Amino acid sequence: MFSFLKKTPATAESTNWLTRLTGSLARTGGQLTALLVPGGRIDEDLYEELETILITSDVGMDATRALLADVRHRVKEQQLTEAGQLKEALAHALLKLLQPLAQPLDVAPHKPFVIMLCGVNGAGKTTSIGKLAKHFQNRRKSVLLAAGDTFRAAAREQLMEWGKRNDVTVIAQQSGDAAAVIYDAVQAAQARGIDVVLADTAGRLTTQAHLMEEIKKVKRVIDKALPGAPHEVLLVLDANTGQNALSQVKAFDEALQVTGLVLTKLDGTAKGGVIAAIAKAHPIPVRFIGVGEGLDDLRPFVAEDFVAALLGLEQ
């Protein structure tokens, strides 16, 4: 029944990562484990406790209700009677919700494969680009970075530093227009036969209508430089964010047709439960999650691991 939990990790690397993710999600897991000890009876108090825990993990009211309804259904259908079995039922309900989001990013179909990043201020876009560059380099892809955040002070310098650390070319201009910088970068990538272009953009709150218009323009201009590009629009979300993450997903998706999400800062006490809310209301594939400050700490999203770590189910 719980095959995904018994699967032995393929490499030492993934064990490390799972440990780290588990550690970072341990708070929630700990709460749940203490609650759902084998032997206890299933009653309304238990459901209410479950609701509390989901809410305090930022899962949100809608998704929490749906998850609990699913759990109740499973309890009835499978005639579960023990509190311990409730954990399994919840794991399956969560997995059913999150599994469709686990679609890894494949950059093979296009060359150069142009990835545009967007998000609110301070979500971790520039840092994620540094880590993504490393990720693709590890897979023997050549990478080029475009310093499209022309607004924030020293954003360009920050990206150039990431370029230096990864030994990757960064296309930047002294000042000016994000669209122009990224246009140049896409052209340079074509000329140099680069595999992946990572385009940074300035952070913006979705309420800023003129900035949302500007980023639409950036996308249109990329399409002019290379028809069909950008091939991936990644929205970077901070795991600390509450229900506002949903409205970020909706607003950026409406403006740019977001094709993937990056969930950053999962190494703190934040649980990233908002991903469940997103899965329920506005599902978009989660491509990567950030589990630490190191260059290697950005990993593909695996629903089984995420659920297992969230609920403290790993053996």
Partner 1 sequence: MLDNLTQRFTGIVKNLRGQARLTESNIQDALREVRLALLEADVALPVVKEFIAKVKEAALGQEVIGNLQPGQALIGVVNRELTKLMGEHNDALNLAAVPPAVILMAGLQGAGKTTSSGKLAKLLREQDKKKVLLVSCDVYRPAAIEQLRTLAQQLDIDFFPSDISQKPLDIALAALDWARKHHHEVLIVDTAGRLAVDEAMMAEIKDLHAAVKPIETLFVVDAMTGQDAVNTAKAFGDALPLTGIILTKLDGDARGGAALSVRQITGKPIKFVGVSEKPNGLEAFHPERMAQRILGMGDVLSLLEDAQRNVDMGEAQKLAKKMQTGKGFDLNDFKMQIVQMKKMGGMSALMDKLPAQLSQAAAGAKIDERQINRTEGIINSMTPYERSHPELIKASRKRRIAAGAGVQVMHVNQLLNQFEQSQKMMKMISGKGGMAKMMRGMAGKLPGMR
In the bound state with partner 1, the residue whose beta carbon lies nearer, of 15 and 247, is: 247
Q: Token pair 């990056």 is at which residue?
A: 262
What residues numbered 280-309 form the site for partner 1, per CB under 8 A? none
Binding test (CB under 8 A) with partner 1, winner from 219, 271, 280, 299 = 271
Q: Which of 29, 112, 124, 148 binds partner 1 (CB under 8 A)?
A: 124
Write out the H or E segment, with its range, that includes residue 298: strand 298-300
CB of 315 to partner 1, least distance (A): 24
Q: Which is nearer to partner 1, 124 or 260 (CB)?
A: 124
Token pair of 130 as six digits: 């540094």
Pairing state between β 196-199 and 113-118: parallel
Beta carbons of 151 and 158 less than 8 angstroms apart? no
Say whether 112 sits in a helix, a strand or coil: coil
Question: Are 55 and 64 a contacting pair, CB within 8 Å?
Answer: yes
The β-bridge relationship of strands 232-238 and 113-118 is parallel
Site for partner 1 in 13-32 (CB under 8 A): 27
Question: Which residues in 128-217 belong to E strands, given as ranges?
Answer: 143-146, 169-171, 196-199
In angstroms, what is the minimal distance from the CB of 97 to partner 1? 18
Give the footprint of partner 1 on residues 193-252 (CB under 8 A): 205-210, 213, 238, 240-245, 247, 251
Tell me the closest approach of the beta carbon of residue 157 to partner 1, in angstroms: 4
- Contact mark string toward partner 1, 46..85, x via CB under 8 A: ------x--xxxx-xx------------------------
* CA distance to 3, 47, 130, 306, per residue, from 104 (Å): 21, 34, 19, 14
158 contributes a contact to partner 1 by CB under 8 A: yes
Which residue, 34 or 61, has its beta carbon nearer to partner 1?
61
Strands (E), 58-172: 113-118, 143-146, 169-171
Cβ 58 to partner 1 shortest distance, Å: 4
Cis peptide before 112 (omega within 30 of 0): yes
> Which residues are at the interface with partner 1 (CB under 8 A)?
27, 52, 55-58, 60-61, 120-124, 127, 130, 151-155, 157-158, 160-162, 165, 205-210, 213, 238, 240-245, 247, 251, 265, 267-271, 274
